Amino acid sequence: MRKGLSTIEYAVMVAVIVAALAAMTAYLKRAVCGKWRENVDTISLGRQAG
């Protein structure tokens, strides 16, 4: 009976890790896009002012 519980525990742990990685991927993607947009806005404002 302990072996069955152990398998379920591993499955839950893997699911939690996969969910955490998916959340981190979305967060990092937004962060990179935001930084990219900030840099592009800075460059385009510099060209308009110059």
pLDDT band at residue 50 under the 50/70/90 scheme: very low
Specify the pLDDT at position 19: 96
In order, the DSSP letters of 1-50 are -HHHHHHHHHHHHHHHHHHHHHHHHHHHHHHHHHHHHHHHHHHHHHHHH-
Confidence of residue 45 (pLDDT cuts 50, 70, 90): confident
pLDDT digits (tens, 9 = 90+) for 5-36: 788 899 999 999 999 999 999 899 999 999 99
List the domain boundaries for the chain.
Answer: 20-50
The C-alpha torsion from 19 through 20 and 26 to 30, rounded to 10°, is: 160
Distance of alpha carbon 19 from alpha carbon 10, whole angstroms: 14
Q: Which residue bears the tokens 């979305």?
A: 26
> Rounded to an integer, what distance in angstroms lies between the CA atom of residue 17 and that of residue 25?
12
* Predicted TM-score of the model (pTM): 0.55
Is 42 or 32 the better-scoring residue by pLDDT?
32
